[in-house]
Structure 1
Amino acid sequence: MENSRNFVLVLTLSLAVLIGWQWAMDHFYPQPDDVPVTAEKVDTPAEAAAVAHTRTGGLQDPAALAQEEADLATALASPERLVIDSPKIAGSINLQGAFLDDVVLKDYAASTDADDDEPVRIFSPRGTPAQQYSQFGFLLNGQKVSDDAVWTATGDRLSPGNPVTLTHDAGNGIGLQLTYSIDDQYMLTVEQTIANRSGDAIVAQPFGLVGRTSDTASEDFFIAHSGPMGVFGDAANYDYDYDDIDDAKKVTPEGAPSWFGFTDIYWLAAMVPQDGTAPDATFRALGGNTYRADMIYDTVRVEKGMKHTTTSRLYAGAKESTVLDSYEDAGLEKFGLAIDWGWFRWFEKPFLWLLKNIFGLVGNFGVAIIILTIIVRGLMFPIAQKQFASMAAMKAIQPKMKKLQERYKDDRVRQQQEMQKLFKEEQVNPLAGCLPLILQIPIFFALYKVLYLAIEMRHQNFLWIEDLSAPDPATILNLFGLLPFTPPSFLAIGVLAVLLGVTMWLTFKLNPSAMDPVQQQVFSIMPWVLMFIMAPFAAGLLLYWVTSNVLTLAQQKYLYSKHPQLKAAAEKEKAEKAAEAAKAKQ
């Protein structure tokens, strides 16, 4: 059982490091000095306050939430707005400056409150506490068209199959057009046209930008990137977070951009340049916890009487794996990697597909998680059987191994030779017990990551839990929800966290492996330490771990019944070590 014990220890320590990192993710975003901006001048607060971020993001401060509500009511009341209405998103474009700054997602509720039918808002106007917006426009002879300019719309509603053109007379015979169209998912297409009716040639630069505040950002966790990202050259780039942009003031990733912008764990705002172009792609810190991604095309010379059109795209929506993959299949390079799948995505995507299909059959996401865990553990059971059989074989020949170790204790080379000869004669592979463990690591980590990243788990209920993507609300200190208050996160030990501690303690208790006193102490307290560590995690993850622990208990009892000599040998070794420890103590 030495390999099994080491495996559990490694996983436990890795998990402790993982959670410890998450606890340290409350960032202080320092105020960078103002930097010159080519495409836009933005007024920002003088100082940026420290902001606490949650796993799913969004404003947390009550004062900021109240200010956001008031600012939205004022900004969206303006008559100078073009309505956006598609199957997935709704919102509007501000005709003053041609800012796309109002986007809500129809399929996702902002809260689990049944009386609150407000959809998730991902774009808010500039200057609001939750600001995120996009703009497409032009630099004319090096100067940006004024953000105060009011554009004229050819229609009153942008919807699939119903594009709308915004026009603006820039003076001196220069006409500008922005033709917006939208599909039935989350992608907008913008044709930027400049018509030169003046008497001289002009120099123009089309550009696009996405601006936002980091106050609403989700936590940037090592398995779920939050912040600037994109595909540059032929690789997805998750290298920069908001602190990096603050430090550098301006970051330009290497390689031609296929798409880039800002991501949260569930939402994405990304620009896609025209095919065959390589515009300048830059992330900037603007101060006051605000940032911008700039996409600036090369300058073009537009002769008199001529036009020039550039076609760009903007994705503003949810990170649904099937939707992202559909755009990738249509030619948008590595767009599916907007979800930070990591190294094990070849395992993770099939798990997500299976999870969604099980959910479609049973109609409850919690039940789907339990069934998926059972299926995965069932598929891994033959590997566990092989591991136990290998350990049983190793236990059976341990007396012979000890004799060889004693006989050749002064000749390590001969000892290894005789050991290899013994393994061959007994047909035992000493590595056979390790290989199954190595195979299980990517599978179980992939399953863990799917449950962490899957937007499908958001706002799904199970028994007393209203949202499996949030921590268990039924905590001990508020009598599992009976008392009307929420305890501090480090004391919020819920039902699932308690079950996790109990089932892990039973797992260690059932394991008869011999351990020295220090190991015994570590393994005796580890379940309760993990109970506290795992409590702030999403309830869906805890449900997976509890189910997995219960299956481990059942699996261990069954396999020990099939290999009684393994348990007997371990118990004997355990007793011998206890006797040795008692003797040493005397």
Structure 2
Amino acid sequence: MKDDTRNFILFAVLAAIILLGGNFLSARYFPRANPPATKIVAGNAKVSDTPTGPATAGPAATGTAAVRDLAIVRAETPRVAIRTADLQGSINLKGARIDDLTLTKYKETVDKNSPPIRLLSPRGTKNAYFGGFGWSGDGVTVPDADTLFTASGAELAPGKPVTLSWANGKGQVFALTFAVDDRYMFTVRQTVSNAGPAPIALRPYALVSRAGVGTEPDTWTNHIGPIGVFDKGATYDITFDNLNGKEPGFFARLWGSNSKPGANMYDATGGWLGFGDKYFLAAVIPDRAAPVRSGFRAANGDAYQGDFTLAPRVVAPGKALVSTAKFFAGAKETNTLDRYEDRLGIPNFGKAIDWGWFEVVEKPIFKYLDWLFRNIGNFGVAIILLTVTIRTLIFPIAQRQFASMAAMKAIQPKMKAIQEKYKDDKLRQQQEVMALYKTEKVNPLAGCLPTLLQIPIMYSLYKVLLLTIEMRHQPFIGWIQDLSAPDPAHILNLFGLLPFAVPAFLAIGVMPVLLGVSMYFQFKLNPAPMDEAQKQVFAIMPWMLMFVMAPFAVGLQVYWITSNLWTVAQQRLLYARHPALKEPAVKT
């Protein structure tokens, strides 16, 4: 009785820690679900007024400086329009900056009249974010942020490049030729013609600048912020805190972060660098064979900049200096990033998505899920079919696990006899137990190994569903209009009929309840526990986990529900083959 009470108290403490700390840990160290795309008001689904993109990504461009209206700032300078199937915006002729860009394919909300996601904005506006190209040099007048260029055309479009030019009046002409493809990649050719009497030395550069750190958290499993490739693989160590001169946190040091304040500039060949949000990226990309000095820095106020500079080049009289760079501004679509990596030779560009350790598992899962969605048209159904596929593929593993458990249970009486016989000789006891395993051809680790093999598969699916933009704003059924957000139909306020907001830790929707029910039936089919405390643990656990998992994206909840129901069906089949497992263990 005393052991039962102790076990129950330990469980109660553990349950409280999981229930109260689960949300904190998931928000801090795991990718966060998107804000709800819809809300339930008086029993009806309505579009939430909370955007889910860079439009709410940060504060003003220069700290305490006044923030001005975007339309006013945009109208103050002449511009070249940008028009593609996926992009719309303009190039600012003052400073030759790409500082006005929206992604027409992605909306702020699920409302059909919602404005598109704004990725780039001019300096002086809220959430200023832009890319720029230029030159630096000694003894030569170069264009700067206030230089007004002349454009060769009024519109930049695929197959329709535009050249911006400026002469310094001392014999040098500077030109930037912009081209754009049918997705998100700009190619910029920087040319300097020297008609002066003497040679000049110049360093071409490119930069991406943004104001603020954004609202999306940088977590252990999903890096948000400065990202780049400097000769080696993608660097996730550099953070906004690091650029502000702060030391890496405890967990960054624990996992071997090399990021140090002030040590964020690198000498490299090629590569790329920029700023990544959960779903969007802006990055500058030098020629892959060009030696560059590249890295990140914090500017005045709350502005941050990533840039690269080429080595100085001497331009003799009558000669020209030509260099080419690229600028990516768009969505982190898995197939698009991989295509740029393969076709343009941009190293590790696909790692703009923080796949982590299990990329080798995550990528095939995503490819299959994407194929299902393109053929079915409903992302929720695609998740269900993906789950069934995975559970079916690992069924032989589960079957081996059940067989091992059955074999172990069958030899329990013999093991207890050995333990009783040699209770005063532990070494002999271990030898006899190992001999019993060999005689009965039982491997005690066989029941654990299948579970360990499933961990990377399940974790990989978790990251695929939360990190890939392909699930963002994808509807499923009825009130669920965004599988990347939590269930908006909260039961405790009667689906919006009662006029009060449900606290986050009590925000239980229909899908979390279904998840709890599915876990209840799964736990019911587990082997019967030995004592009353364990029975109470198994009785409470599904409902406790229901609260813990409620803040997660509905897409993940669809996966868990399907997985639980499929597991119940598999367990019924396996118990039919191994009926001894359903018998309660004998308490000694």
TM-score bucket (shorter structure):
0.7 to 0.9
Residue 515 of structure 1, CA deviation: 5.5
**Of 321-330 and 149-158, the range deviating more from structure 2:** 321-330
Distance 1:195 1:360 in 2: 50
Q: Equivalent of 1:454, from 468, 473, 485?
A: 468
Change (3 A) 1:435 1:357: same
Kept in 2, the 8 Å contact 1:56–1:219? The answer is no
Residue 156 of structure 1, CA deviation: 0.7
Query: Residue 135 of structure 2 aligns with which residue?
Result: 138
Distance 1:106 1:69 in 2: 25
Q: Equivalent of 2:483, from 468, 471, 474?
A: 468
What letter is aligned with 1:129?
A: K
SS in structure 2 opposite 1:133? strand
Distance 1:364 1:106 in 2: 21
What letter is aligned with 1:462?
A: F
Residue 214 of structure 1, CA deviation: 3.4
Kept in 2, the 8 Å contact 1:210–1:269? The answer is yes
Distance 1:540 1:455 in 2: 13
Flag structure 1 segments of 5+ consecutive residues without an equivalent: 1-9, 27-52, 578-586
Asked if 1:329 is matched to 2:342, the reply is: yes
Kept in 2, the 8 Å contact 1:25–1:219? The answer is no
The 5-angstrom pairing of residues 157-306 of structure 1 reads 157-247=155-245, 248=261, 251-253=264-266, 255-306=268-319
Aligned residues: 534
Residue 84 of structure 1, CA deviation: 0.7
Q: Could you report, residue by residue, the CA deviation over 1:73-117 in whole angstroms, capped at 9, with x for unpaired residues?
A: 11223450111111221110010111111111121122101232x
Query: Residue 37 of structure 1 aligns with which residue?
Result: none
Distance 1:55 1:80 in 2: 31
What letter is aligned with 2:90?
A: S
Residue 354 of structure 1, CA deviation: 1.3
Kept in 1, the 8 Å contact 2:163–2:178? The answer is yes
What letter is aligned with 1:431?
A: L
**Of 367-376 and 404-413, the range deviating more from structure 2:** 404-413
Residue 60 of structure 1, CA deviation: 7.4
Distance 1:354 1:13 in 2: 37
Distance 1:209 1:443 in 2: 39
What letter is aligned with 2:131?
A: S
Q: Equivalent of 1:514, from 518, 524, 529?
A: 529
Asked if 1:436 is matched to 2:433, the reply is: no
SS in structure 2 opposite 1:76? helix
Q: Equivalent of 2:24, from 11, 20, 24?
A: 20
Q: Equivalent of 2:146, from 145, 148, 152?
A: 148
Q: CA RMSD in A?
A: 2.9
Q: Could you report, residue by residue, the CA deviation over 1:302-331 in whole angstroms, capped at 9, with x for unpaired residues?
A: 222221011000111111111111111122
Asked if 1:536 is matched to 2:557, the reply is: no
Distance 2:57 2:292 in 1: 36
**Of 330-339 and 413-422, the range deviating more from structure 2:** 413-422
Q: Could you report, residue by residue, the CA deviation over 1:379-425 in whole angstroms, capped at 9, with x for unpaired residues?
A: 11121111001100010011111112222233333222222221121
Query: Residue 42 of structure 1 aligns with which residue?
Result: none
Query: Residue 351 of structure 1 aligns with which residue?
Result: 365
Residue 153 of structure 1, CA deviation: 0.4
Change (3 A) 1:56 1:24: farther
SS in structure 2 opposite 1:531? helix
Residue 25 of structure 1, CA deviation: 7.7
Q: Equivalent of 1:408, from 415, 422, 428?
A: 422
What letter is aligned with 1:543?
A: V
Q: Could you report, residue by residue, the CA deviation over 1:509-566 in whole angstroms, capped at 9, with x for unpaired residues?
A: 3323435666555544443333233222211111111221222222223322321111
Flag structure 2 segments of 5+ consecutive residues without an equivalent: 1-13, 31-49, 246-260
What letter is aligned with 2:110?
A: T
SS in structure 2 opposite 1:344? helix
Query: Residue 384 of structure 1 aligns with which residue?
Result: 398
Asked if 1:102 is matched to 2:117, the reply is: no
Taking structure 1 as the reference length, the TM-score comes to: 0.84
Distance 1:279 1:530 in 2: 51
Distance 2:502 2:241 in 1: 30
Residue 272 of structure 1, CA deviation: 0.9
Asked if 1:128 is matched to 2:141, the reply is: no
Residue 290 of structure 1, CA deviation: 2.1
Distance 1:170 1:518 in 2: 84
What letter is aligned with 2:27?
A: W
Change (3 A) 1:13 1:410: farther
Distance 1:151 1:63 in 2: 27
Distance 1:212 1:17 in 2: 34
- Identity within the alignment, %: 49
Change (3 A) 1:417 1:25: closer
Residue 490 of structure 1, CA deviation: 3.0
**Of 68-77 and 493-502, the range deviating more from structure 2:** 68-77
Distance 2:167 2:122 in 1: 24
Change (3 A) 1:257 1:13: farther
Kept in 1, the 8 Å contact 2:59–2:214? The answer is no
Change (3 A) 1:364 1:122: same
Taking structure 2 as the reference length, the TM-score comes to: 0.84
Change (3 A) 1:291 1:62: closer
Residue 506 of structure 1, CA deviation: 3.2
SS in structure 1 opposite 2:418? helix
Q: Could you report, residue by residue, the CA deviation over 1:343-366 in whole angstroms, capped at 9, with x for unpaired residues?
A: 211221111111112112221111
SS in structure 2 opposite 1:130? coil
Kept in 1, the 8 Å contact 2:58–2:215? The answer is no
SS in structure 2 opposite 1:160? coil
Asked if 1:314 is matched to 2:327, the reply is: yes
Q: Could you report, residue by residue, the CA deviation over 1:265-323 in whole angstroms, capped at 9, with x for unpaired residues?
A: 11111111113112111211124432110111111122222210110001111111111
What letter is aligned with 1:322?
A: N
SS in structure 1 opposite 2:177? strand
Change (3 A) 1:314 1:68: farther
**Of 104-113 and 490-499, the range deviating more from structure 2:** 490-499
Asked if 1:489 is matched to 2:486, the reply is: no
Residue 161 of structure 1, CA deviation: 1.0
Distance 2:349 2:271 in 1: 9
Distance 1:99 1:322 in 2: 28
What letter is aligned with 2:94?
A: Q
Kept in 1, the 8 Å contact 2:383–2:558? The answer is yes
What letter is aligned with 2:187?
A: T
Distance 2:364 2:544 in 1: 32
Kept in 2, the 8 Å contact 1:58–1:218? The answer is no
Distance 1:328 1:62 in 2: 32
**Of 486-495 and 314-323, the range deviating more from structure 2:** 486-495
Change (3 A) 1:338 1:203: same
Query: Residue 4 of structure 1 aligns with which residue?
Result: none
SS in structure 1 opposite 2:381? helix
More RCO (CA 8 Å, sep 6+): 2
What letter is aligned with 1:307?
A: A
Residue 182 of structure 1, CA deviation: 0.8
What letter is aligned with 2:135?
A: F
**Of 216-225 and 159-168, the range deviating more from structure 2:** 216-225
Change (3 A) 1:57 1:159: closer
Change (3 A) 1:180 1:61: closer
Q: Could you report, residue by residue, the CA deviation over 1:37-73 in whole angstroms, capped at 9, with x for unpaired residues?
A: xxxxxxxxxxxxxxxx998664179999xx9996221
Q: Equivalent of 1:366, from 364, 380, 385?
A: 380
Distance 2:60 2:490 in 1: 27
